[in-house]
Amino acid sequence: MKSAFIYHPDLAGFHAYKGYPWLFERTEVTYQLCKKNGLFEGKEVAVRTAVPARPCDLLRFHTQSYVDLLTKANAGVADEKWLESGLGTSECPVYKGVFDYHLLATGGTLLGARLIDNGEADVVFNPSGGFHHAGRDFASGFCYINDIVLAIRKWVGRKKRVLYIDIDAHHGDQVQEAFYETGKVLCISFHESGKSLFPFRGGFENEIGKGRGKGCTVNVPLTERTSDKVLLWAFGRIFPPLVQRFKPDVIVAVIGADALFSDPMSHLQLTNVAYVHAVEMILGSAPKVLALGCGGYDIDTLARAWTLAWSAMADSAPGEEDAVSFGGMFWGDGLSSLKDHPLFVSDHVRAETEQEVRRVVENLEKHVFPLWNIKR
């Protein structure tokens, strides 16, 4: 398996306002931690430098008028009229170089797609990608350019079967919107319910696609305080049978780290142990995988989770020989020290979340699985 990590040192050099939650240094700290742990030393592993996307590349999804607004916003001076396009809000501020940053991050995703197309990589990870809230003509939720839709549309245009799997805490609303009525893309999302988390709408289990796309949208909204055992049970019930039936040529995996218990932007109780297990299941499900970072708002949590995820992509997962065994987990030097300790979840909370997630899963098995001729 050939793996490529997308990196550019300039990504860490951008700044918005003080206290802005988006961590521009996300790729840099992940890169440095991976490097420290020797995860770029394998013969089949490469670090590739991101190249900015061209404004014309964005027109595969975004409108010309919106691209023109982003071009103007790059100077860092906001116009009140841009608020109707989501630009200049606290979520999507206008700052110097805002377009440059997102062109570079998006360019990393498009480079990853090219590497897969050219046979230069089987698995690609762009930590700076994954802007699933950006719409055709508006910015939202820290997202200005929807690199996910751009990459998927490129593959769909080449008659590729694409599966989009999103395990970020937030629902990928604009990716769902882009493919809701087409049967060419299977969209699966595990996320905290919109009843308690942004974008506070959509992403519910009764949204299963429309027209030719009926059955090609699958949402698993998770209730607050969902823990490892509950997530992995739901993931194991939903993801494997669908991916086996769909048989994708490529998977686009959004692996945001904000679903973890220590992240300040969600209310789930997941550890990076379950997170990496889900990533490993994704990696084993298709011959080609483009992984994108997306959310993550605690730098330590993000760096550890993405380093462990990259170790799986680079086929360098930690084993018992690397650390001291204690209580069924491994804590010590190297990769194993990056694993979260077991998280206590009371029996009451676990039973409560299990009941709700089981209801969601059974609903999907009843209404979506028959559309795929999957029997339970």
- The verdict on whether 133 is a catalytic residue reads yes
Determine contact, residues 171/181, Cβ cutoff 8 Å: no
- With beta carbons less than 8 A apart as the criterion, state whether 220 and 365 touch: no
Question: In sequence order, what E strands does 64-154 have?
Answer: 123-126
Q: Does the pLDDT value for residue 324 go beyond 70?
A: no
Confidence class for position 320, pLDDT limits 50, 70, 90: very low
Q: What is the CATH number of the domain that holds 99?
A: 3.40.800.20
Has residue 323 got a pLDDT over 80?
A: no
Extract the runs of DSSP E, i.e. beta strands, from 109-243.
Answer: 123-126, 162-166, 185-192, 217-222
pTM: 0.95
pLDDT per residue as tens digits for the range 264-278: 999 999 999 999 999
Q: The domain containing residue 239 runs over which residues?
A: 3-372
What is residue 334's predicted lDDT score, i.e. its pLDDT? 77
Q: How far apart are CA 46 and CA 42, in angstroms?
A: 8
Instruction: Give the whole-number percent of the chain exceeding pLDDT 70.
Output: 95
Q: Are strands 45-49 and 162-166 parallel, antiparallel or unpaired?
A: unpaired
d(CA 301, CA 206): 32
Percent of the chain with pLDDT over 90: 93
Q: Can you give the pLDDT at residue 317?
A: 55
Q: Tell me what the mean pLDDT of segment 352-363 comes to.
A: 98
Q: Please tell me the predicted confidence (pLDDT) of residue 195.
A: 97
- The answer for residues whose C-beta is within 8 angstroms of residue 18's C-beta and 6 or more apart is none
- pLDDT for res 315: 87
Tens of pLDDT, residue by residue over 188-244, are 999 999 999 999 999 999 999 999 999 999 999 999 999 999 999 999 999 999 999
Low-confidence winner among 112-121, 134-143, 194-203, 328-337 (lowest mean pLDDT): 328-337
User: Whole-number mean pLDDT of the chain?
Assistant: 95
- Strand 329-331 relative to strand 324-326, pairing: antiparallel
Confidence tier at 319 by pLDDT (50, 70, 90): very low
Q: Exactly one of 62, 133, 170, 191 is catalytic; which is it?
A: 133
pLDDT at 345 over 50: yes
Count structural domains, the chain.
1
Long-range contacts of residues 74-79, Cβ cutoff 8 Å, at least 24 apart: 74/98, 74/99, 74/100
Residue 4 has pLDDT above 80, yes or no: yes
Integer Cα distance of 99 and 79 in angstroms: 15
Q: Could you tell me if 133 and 189 are in contact, meaning their C-beta atoms sit under 8 angstroms apart?
A: no
Query: Which tokens is 286 given?
Result: 């298709």
Which residue is associated with the tokens 């999302």?
A: 189
Q: What is the pLDDT of residues 26-55, one digit of tens each?
A: 999 999 999 999 999 999 999 999 999 999
pLDDT one-digit tens code per residue, 66-108: 999 999 999 999 999 999 999 999 999 999 999 999 999 999 9
| Residue 333: per-residue pLDDT | 56
